[in-house]
Structure 1
Amino acid sequence: MNLFDLPSGSFSPAQLLGTAGLPAQTPAGLVGNTPTLWIGEPFTAAGRGFWAKLEGHNPGGIKDRTALYMVRAARERGELLPGGRIVESTSGTLGLGLALAGVTFGHPVSVVTDPGMEPLMAGLLAAYGAEIHVVDRPHASGAWQRARRERVAELLATHPDAWCPDQYHNPDNVAAYKPLAYELAAQLGRIDTLVVSVGTGGHSAGIASVLRGFFPALKVVGVDATGSTIFGQPAAPRLMRGLGSSIYPRNVGYAFFDEVHWVAAPEAVWAARTLARCRYATGGWSVGAIALVARWLAGTLPVEDRIVAVFPDGPQRYIGTVFDDTYCREHRLFGCRPADAPDEIDHPAERTVDRWTRCTTVLDPLTDVERGSAEVAG
């Protein structure tokens, strides 16, 4: 039952249950059971399209799920003591989730970020009681992420009772997304292709591992940012936030991916803005990049292929960036309609990419020894 199917005349209030969510006694009860929307023409070609899982319908976005799960698990193991401080590095969305978890379980929260955090995001975090620390310069070898993580270590030393979720390497970050995968299977019945952005690696590995159990032939497509090191490209300055990395997160499940696409900031902006006008469902950098790739897949895969793209958040935090004309002009993000198809490379190290590019060879860029050294350095 939806808004247009309400019964006429007299009816029992029980008949309205299909249109209402269950009452929530804590903020955590607002997380999950997000809707799935068909994205078709005019964003896609006629008769083609894909399903979008709208994680922006959580209070703060997709990382509400992992923040609550990681905090609850740490409390159960005794790693996070009652009233202990939570300290983490974040570009924004996980910070909102940790603020939600802090309110739910009674923990103060400190987030470490950098000057690229949007003013709206900083304002929301402050409103929800989070303490914000901003590093003022990137690390010489690890960019902003390494500088933030070093500041986290300093705060942990200052607060002996503090705990860090370590979202980049915490396996709970992966396990947290099992319910999301169950929701997708229940909503769509069959899934042939999954399109996911990759940052910490949590939701891509968590969703793919469960769905592969239901659908062994599932095709998994990872979406990364140009300038990100995750899939073997060299590090470079990145304007986009929420996807990509300048370190090597242990949670990335390389074995799940059939292909990876790198998307540049202007291409993501075009897709996010076009999607907003076409379907009234959009988001920021990650959603734009994901939608661009899913749109192409919808036009190239067999018409019966059921594609689902996970949209991590909504457009609200990007009003001052992706959806701000002045910002986009200043950063030369306009006038770059993406090509109809991605460029192609045969190996991630073949060359440095600076536009939408696809590669069907997916490798962990580090050996076990190199990965251990990178984690110590990061």
Structure 2
Amino acid sequence: MTSVLPIHPFPVHATTQRGPRRDDRPSSMVGNTPVLRITAPFATDERGFWAKLEGFNPGGMKDRPALHMVERARARGALRPGARIIESSSGTLGLGLALAGMAYRHPVTVVTDPGLEPILVRMLTAYGARVDQVTEPHPDGGWQQARRDRVDQLLAEDPTAWHPDQYSNPDCVAAYRGLALELRAQVGDVDVLVCSVGTGGHSAGVARVLREFNPAMKLIGVDAIGSRIFGQPVQPRLMRGLGSSIYPANVDYTAFDEVHWVAPAEAVWACRALAATHYATGGWSVGAVALVAGWAAQAHVREATVAAIFPDGPQRYFDTIYNDDYCHEHGLLAAEQPIEPVTIDDPGRVTVQSWTRCDAVAAPGRRV
């Protein structure tokens, strides 16, 4: 009989460690991430914003929902001891599930696509996960739907396996309560929150909790050019980690006050500017969110507390965002800093190609 180490589930509620940090297990390293004040060149010193640096978690922001979804599924009996976890991921949730599988003694299969960075494939394998890669995109739902179809096939082959379904699992939303409480403890009541939107989990979960303290808080969503989530037509996307070619059920459309779309070259500029000026940076989502949060800090009153969630760090993007050859190949090295977005009234009437905002946010179609 295989021995199981005692597990100390990750607390959804925020905790505070005093003095030098010491962790006795990998899962306890999740949470209590720092915030950093971001100013020039994104905003003036008087109108900067606070960035929650989720890249300080072992695998990034999605360590939080991975551990929480597994914990809750085990508590309900939906995930049996030793059963396999099978999920679709563009990378970050895969790392979180590898951590959760290690902590709770479950084998993990991560279904990915050819866009997954080679370093992520190697790291997932090193952490004990099985990587299953689809080879053809779905004709309508793209790589995301192709991955979901493959998950369904694997689940049919293993009736004991469990699928977290991060796109529609309410535990994915609830997992971010701890992040929200940490952020409020660090910066006080938040007046404007800027979040990237992919599965919809962290924007819904963090905003819901922060509005318990400040019901008037404004939520700005950040999407990728070519994403379907907020009513744009699907296009091929270089940017991973935000945007979607499906309608994730966890996206809380009613929570958003406005949405911005950001293009890859604009996100690359922001990522590199963050690195050069703040010694803190990350991937596509981080760049896009920083660009929009800097604009929001300038657009709102000086006294407003503007906060943004940076989901990860730069490590997995060394061959893309931070690789000059890759960026030149894809035309991503913009010569000038993006200053402000174009404003549109209806995302269903115009296909955006560069940084654009809209304050009419509605569910554009059937959710999955």
1:142 paired with 2:147, answer no
Q: 1:218 to 1:268 in 2, by over 3 A?
A: same
TM-score by length of 2: 0.94
Amino acid at match of 1:306: T
- The aligned counterpart of 1:165 is 164
Name 1:10's counterpart in structure 2: none
What is the CA distance between 1:191 and its match in structure 2? 1.0
The answer for the alignment partner of 2:218 in structure 1 is 219
Matched, 1:51 2:50: yes
Amino acid at match of 2:119: L
Say whether the 8 Å CA contact 1:44–1:295 is kept in structure 2: yes
Matches within 5 A, 1:283-362: 283-362=282-361
Contact 2:167 2:199 survives alignment (8 Å): yes
Work out the CA distance in 1 between the residues paired with 2:36 and 2:18.
Answer: 18
Give the CA deviation at 1:304: 1.0
Query: Offset of 1:299 from its aligned partner?
Result: 1.6
2:306 is aligned with what amino acid?
A: I
Q: Which moved more, 1:40-49 or 1:228-237?
A: 40-49
Letter of the aligned partner of 1:101 in structure 2?
A
Counterpart in the other structure of 1:365? 364
Letter aligned with residue 148 of structure 2: R
Report the alpha carbon displacement of residue 285 of structure 1 after superposing the two structures with TM.
0.2
Structure 1 residue 335 displacement after superposition: 2.4
- CA RMSD of superposed structures (Å): 1.1
Displacement of 1:47 in angstroms is 2.5
Q: Distance in 1 between matches of 2:319 and 2:152?
A: 31
Matches within 5 A, 1:1-378: 18-21=18-21, 23-366=22-365, 370-371=366-367, 375=368
8 A contact 1:267–1:337 mirrored in 2: no
Instruction: State the shift of 1:313 in Å.
Output: 0.4
The aligned residue for residue 10 of structure 2 is none
Task: Verify the 8 A CA contact 2:189 2:210 in the aligned structure 1.
Answer: no
Q: Deviations 1:139-168 (Å, cap 9, x if unpaired)?
A: 111100010011111111122211110000
Report how far residue 338 of structure 1 moved: 4.5
Letter in 2 for 1:20: P
Q: Which has the larger radius of gyration?
A: 1
Letter in 1 for 2:134: V
Q: C-alpha deviations, 1:251-280, integer Å up to 9, x for none?
A: 001111100000000000000001110000
How many Å separate the matches in 2 of 1:131 and 1:18? 37
Secondary structure in structure 1 of the residue aligned to 2:124: helix
Task: Please report the TM-score for the alignment, with normalisation by the length of structure 1.
Answer: 0.91
Q: Which amino acid aligns with 2:20?
A: A
For 1:190 and 1:72, the matched residues in 2 are separated by: 29
- The percent identity for this pair of structures is 61
- Which SS does the other structure have where 1:133 is aligned? strand
CA distance in 2, matches of 1:279, 1:76: 42
Q: Is the 8 Å Cα contact of residues 225 and 237 (structure 2) preserved in structure 1?
A: yes
CA 1:157–1:51: 2 relative to 1, 3 Å: same
Which amino acid letter does the alignment assign opposite residue 38 of structure 2?
A: I
2:261 touches 2:357 (CA, 8 Å); kept in 1?
yes
Unaligned runs of 5+ in 2: 1-16
Q: In structure 1, how many angstroms separate the alpha carbons of the residues matched to 2:316 and 2:336?
A: 23
Is the 1:41–1:48 contact (alpha carbons within 8 Å) kept by the matching residues of 2? no
Please say which of residues 151-160 and 121-130 is displaced more in the overlay.
Answer: 151-160
Cα deviation code 1:49-95 (max 9, x no counterpart): 10000000000000000000000101111111100000000000000
Structure 1: gaps (5+ residues): 1-16
CA contact (8 A) 2:42 2:294 kept: yes
The residue identity in structure 2 corresponding to 1:52 is A
Amino acid corresponding to residue 142 of structure 2 in structure 1: A
- Separation in 1 of the partners of 2:177 and 2:231? 27
How much does 1:18 deviate? 4.3
Say which SS state the counterpart of residue 47 (structure 1) adopts. Answer: helix
Query: SS of the residue aligned with 2:46?
Result: coil
